[in-house]
């Protein structure tokens, strides 16, 4: 035992030496540490888990925080300066992590005596307690919402900057903290009261957020999804700023009457609730892209941040010159934001109209192609083959018009992924990262491949900037679950329900996790509520309820739900054979589980991408047939991953 302990100690010492040498490098993460240590990421994760119960990302984060504590106690620099010295790209994010880990903010260190401060014991005792993440937001359908918001954010077009004819109405001089360039844009208020104006208000909000997000010197821009939770809510500016942990709040009313538009912008200091800057914009709707770019640049200027020439060019680029086409496009996105198969169907005519009005409107083609392909993946209203055939002509036209369109690149990556061409999908995502930066679909791909540490590391990076919609963070729920960080898993799920209590897709994901955690009563309540909210009999929810009722000793209802899904599968309903396999795998009948998995494989069902990740299929990894199926699908790594073993008979 002593020799083994010595080997482990040397291994940890080697890792800490590597981290020490790269302490100030913000992007020195799991991948870089594994490479420097001469081991694979999975080997590094397993080794750390066996030594101290930590994931690699947790080990790195806690090392940085401990070094920060030492520097603060030695008073070597300010808290903001130390944040950068220990590899945190944002003092705000550093403050959050520090407070979560030690129980108080870094500014209080100098007032505490480490020899007598009980909270300093956290350094020794909390290594097995995960630092909880900031709250974020059915399996594929949550991801569907994520993509939809991405399209809205990424595609609202840019144009050239124009000289403003408007004057500042009120400006307050105040000292700026150069390290606190964080902002949230409240949903623009509808000043007309007309429901038709809502689409323009939401579109304007999304456009400003999207443009501000392009400016990398702004270290935190709250996503559209997060901000839409504040629409119509009566909260003070300071309450909102405190909840979102931002310095600035931008709010405005928006009015469109014919071709005339009007905005009353106010940039407010969220800490003091004082008006920092305000300006009234009036103009014409056919110059909306110019106004959007101008607003973003003016806000950035008032925040005292720099904009590169490349960022400015992207901010000012327009997606179409035809305002009627843009109007129809916005209506389509607005209707589709209901995230139901009915709303998707209803939105298509608006995208088609946009294309008729402007045959070079690349983003409208992408939206329509993605709309059709989604019907065969997320909603399952038609076979994937039929959905792809309907999407193909619009996708081809988008490629012809604008092959470097970032929305198009992600759509193509998604298509390759569902064809099980994982390398091609990763190559497209690499291309996207070169153009824009990190992307939510990378999390999805890493999750399906079992690379949980990378998902968590991406989550931590996202917390620094908060540029992605919270709803995209569902992959990290599964990642934390597989890493055994259950407190973080539960925390994110609880916040998900608070942020979106009427969004039925989250009930599928979170019900599945509670099932895996053997909280059968909670799982039952969540899944039944999800079915009621959706008004549809999602096969995944129905089969997971069949499992739940089995363990709740309601065998009759369990059999009823199982028979329902089997009958639907036998009558040719696409994409649901894999869910029957969930039932038999969970109950320990591996022969029947593999029978249904083979049926799913022959039909190329989209949910087979969850083979390595779904908790219901975990125990099948011990069966040789699992590796055969895994390799047939084309997963790059089919080794057993049994760190999250569960006694399924309990």
pLDDT digits (tens, 9 = 90+) for 613-633: 999 999 899 999 999 999 999
Return the closest-CA partner of residue 491 out of 464, 508, 470, 465.
470
3-state SS class at 499: helix
Residue 473 lies in a domain: no
Residue 142 lies in a domain: no
308 and 167 assigned to the same domain: yes
Which of residues 315, 334, 361 is at a domain's end? 315
47-73: average pLDDT: 85
Distances (CA, A) of 481 to 123, 497, 510, 547: 24, 17, 11, 19
Out of 269-273, 369-373, 421-425, 529-533, pick the least confident. Answer: 269-273
Out of 23-27, 222-226, 493-497, 646-650, pick the least confident. Answer: 646-650
307 and 191 assigned to the same domain: yes
174 and 311 assigned to the same domain: yes
99-126: average pLDDT: 61
The pTM of this model reads 0.64
576 and 619 assigned to the same domain: yes
Residue 459 lies in a domain: no
**pLDDT given at position 162:** 31
Residue 582 lies in a domain: yes
167 pLDDT band (50/70/90 cuts)?
Answer: very low
- Between 94 and 179, where is the model more confident? 94
140 pLDDT band (50/70/90 cuts)?
Answer: low
454-481: average pLDDT: 67
175 and 305 assigned to the same domain: yes
Q: Which range has the top average pLDDT, 52-56, 187-191, 297-301, 544-548?
A: 544-548
101 backbone dihedrals φ, ψ, rounded to 5°? -80, -45
300 and 332 assigned to the same domain: no
Neighbours of 62 (CB within 10 A): 21
**pLDDT given at position 578:** 97
6-16: average pLDDT: 84
Residue 260 lies in a domain: yes
Which of residues 315, 337, 363 is at a domain's end? 315
121 pLDDT band (50/70/90 cuts)?
Answer: very low
Residue 259 lies in a domain: yes
Distances (CA, A) of 527 to 309, 542, 549: 50, 8, 11
595 pLDDT band (50/70/90 cuts)?
Answer: very high
Residue 154 lies in a domain: no
Residue 468 lies in a domain: no
Separation between Cα atoms, residue 109 and residue 17, nearest integer Å: 25
Residue found under tokens 């900057």: 161
Residue found under tokens 């056919």: 286
Helix (H) or strand (E) holding 168: strand 168-171
- Between 129 and 54, where is the model more confident? 54
Q: Indicate whether 650 pLDDT > 70.
A: no
Domain containing residue 39: CATH number: 1.10.10.60
The angle at the Cα of 27, spanning 23 to 28, to the nearest 5 degrees, equals 50
**pLDDT given at position 11:** 84
Domain containing residue 382: CATH number: 1.25.40.10
172 pLDDT band (50/70/90 cuts)?
Answer: very low
287 and 388 assigned to the same domain: no
Per the structure block, which two tokens stand in for 70?
């030492």
253-266: average pLDDT: 91
Total domains in the chain come to 4
167 and 302 assigned to the same domain: yes
311 and 344 assigned to the same domain: no
**pLDDT given at position 456:** 84
**pLDDT given at position 161:** 32
Separation between Cα atoms, residue 411 and residue 21, nearest integer Å: 40
Q: Indicate whether 171 pLDDT > 60.
A: no
Domain containing residue 283: CATH number: 3.40.50.10610
3-state SS class at 254: strand
Domain containing residue 598: CATH number: 1.25.40
Percent of the chain at pLDDT exceeding 70: 80
Percent of the chain at pLDDT exceeding 90: 33
Going 42 to 479 to 241 to 289, the CA torsion angle's sign is: positive
Query: Which range of residues forms the domain containing residue 327?
Result: 323-404
Out of 49-53, 405-409, 541-545, pick the least confident. Answer: 49-53
169 pLDDT band (50/70/90 cuts)?
Answer: very low
**pLDDT given at position 569:** 96
Per-residue pLDDT of 395-452, as tens digits, reads 999 999 999 888 898 889 988 988 999 889 888 888 777 665 566 677 888 888 888 8
Separation between Cα atoms, residue 508 and residue 563, nearest integer Å: 20
Per-residue pLDDT of 498-532, as tens digits, reads 555 666 677 888 899 999 999 999 999 999 998 98
Q: What is the average pLDDT score of the chain?
A: 80
**Residue 56's Cα: distance from chain center in Å?**
21
345 and 297 assigned to the same domain: no
**pLDDT given at position 615:** 93
Per the structure block, which two tokens stand in for 276?
């920092």
183 and 311 assigned to the same domain: yes
Which of residues 315, 343, 374 is at a domain's end? 315
* DSSP-assigned states of every residue in 449-490: TT-HHHHHHHHHHHHHH--S-GGGGHHHHHHHHHTT-HHHHH
**pLDDT given at position 552:** 97
**pLDDT given at position 473:** 60
298 and 207 assigned to the same domain: yes
276 pLDDT band (50/70/90 cuts)?
Answer: confident
């Amino acid at each position: 035992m002593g020799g083994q302990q010595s080997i482990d100690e040397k291994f940890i010492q080697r890792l800490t030496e590597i981290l020490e040498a790269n302490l100030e490098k913000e992007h020195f993460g799991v991948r870089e540490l594994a490479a420097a240590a001469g081991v694979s990421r999975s080997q590094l994760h397993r080794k750390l888990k066996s030594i101290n119960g930590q994931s690699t990302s947790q080990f790195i984060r806690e090392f940085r925080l401990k070094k920060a504590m030492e520097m603060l106690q030695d008073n070597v620099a300010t808290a903001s300066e130390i944040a950068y010295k220990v590899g945190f790209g944002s003092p705000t994010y550093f403050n959050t992590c520090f407070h979560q880990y030690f129980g108080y903010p870094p500014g209080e260190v100098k007032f505490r005596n480490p020899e007598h401060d009980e909270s300093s014991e956290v350094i020794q005792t909390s290594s097995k307690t995960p630092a909880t993440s900031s709250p974020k937001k059915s399996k594929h359908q949550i991801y569907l919402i994520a993509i939809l918001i991405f399209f809205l954010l990424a595609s609202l077009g840019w144009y050239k900057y124009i000289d403003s004819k408007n004057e500042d109405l009120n400006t307050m001089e105040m000292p700026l903290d150069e390290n606190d360039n964080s902002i949230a844009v409240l949903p623009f208020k509808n000043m007309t009261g007309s429901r038709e104006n809502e689409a323009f208000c939401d579109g304007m909000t999304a456009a400003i957020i999207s443009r501000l997000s392009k400016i990398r010197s702004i270290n935190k821009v709250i996503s559209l999804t997060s901000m839409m939770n504040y629409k119509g809510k009566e909260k003070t500016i300071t309450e909102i700023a405190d909840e979102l942990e931002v310095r600035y709040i931008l709010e405005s009313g928006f009015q469109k009457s014919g071709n005339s538009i009007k905005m009353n912008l106010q940039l407010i200091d969220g800490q003091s609730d004082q008006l920092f800057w305000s300006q009234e914009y009036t103009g014409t709707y056919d110059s909306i892209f110019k106004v959007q770019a101008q607003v973003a640049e003016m806000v950035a200027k008032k925040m005292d941040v720099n904009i590169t020439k490349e960022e400015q060019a992207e901010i000012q680029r327009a997606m179409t010159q035809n305002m009627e086409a843009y109007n129809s496009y916005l209506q389509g996105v607005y209707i589709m934001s209901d995230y139901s198969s009915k709303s998707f169907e209803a939105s298509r005519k608006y995208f088609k109209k946009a294309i008729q009005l402007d045959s070079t409107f690349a983003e409208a083609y992408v939206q329509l192609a993605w709309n059709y392909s989604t019907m065969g993946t997320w909603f399952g209203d038609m076979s994937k083959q039929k959905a792809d055939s309907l999407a193909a002509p619009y996708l081809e036209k988008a490629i012809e018009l604008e092959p470097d369109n970032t929305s198009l690149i992600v759509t193509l990556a998604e298509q390759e992924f569902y064809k099980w061409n994982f390398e091609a999908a990763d190559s497209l995502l690499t291309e996207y990262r070169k153009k824009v930066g990190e992307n939510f679909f990378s999390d999805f791909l890493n999750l399906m491949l079992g690379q949980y540490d990378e998902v968590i590391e991406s989550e931590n990076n996202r917390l620094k900037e908060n540029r992605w919609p919270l709803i995209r963070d569902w992959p990290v729920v599964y990642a934390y679950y597989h890493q055994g960080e259950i407190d973080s898993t539960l925390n994110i799920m609880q916040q998900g329900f608070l942020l979106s209590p009427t969004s039925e897709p989250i009930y599928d994901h979170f019900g599945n996790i509670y099932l895996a955690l053997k909280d059968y009563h909670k799982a039952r309540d969540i899944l039944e509520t999800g079915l009621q909210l959706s008004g549809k009999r999602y096969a995944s929810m129905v089969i997971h309820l069949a499992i739940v009722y089995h363990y709740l000793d309601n065998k009759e209802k369990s059999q009823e739900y199982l028979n329902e899904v089997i009958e639907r599968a036998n009558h040719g309903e696409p994409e649901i054979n894999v869910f029957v396999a969930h039932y038999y795998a969970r109950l320990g009948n591996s022969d029947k589980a593999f029978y249904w998995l083979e049926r799913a494989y022959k039909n190329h069902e989209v949910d087979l991408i969850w083979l390595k990740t779904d908790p219901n299929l975990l125990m099948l990894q011990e069966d040789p047939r699992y590796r055969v199926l895994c390799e047939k699908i084309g997963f790059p790594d089919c080794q057993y991953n049994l760190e999250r073993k569960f006694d399924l008979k309990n």
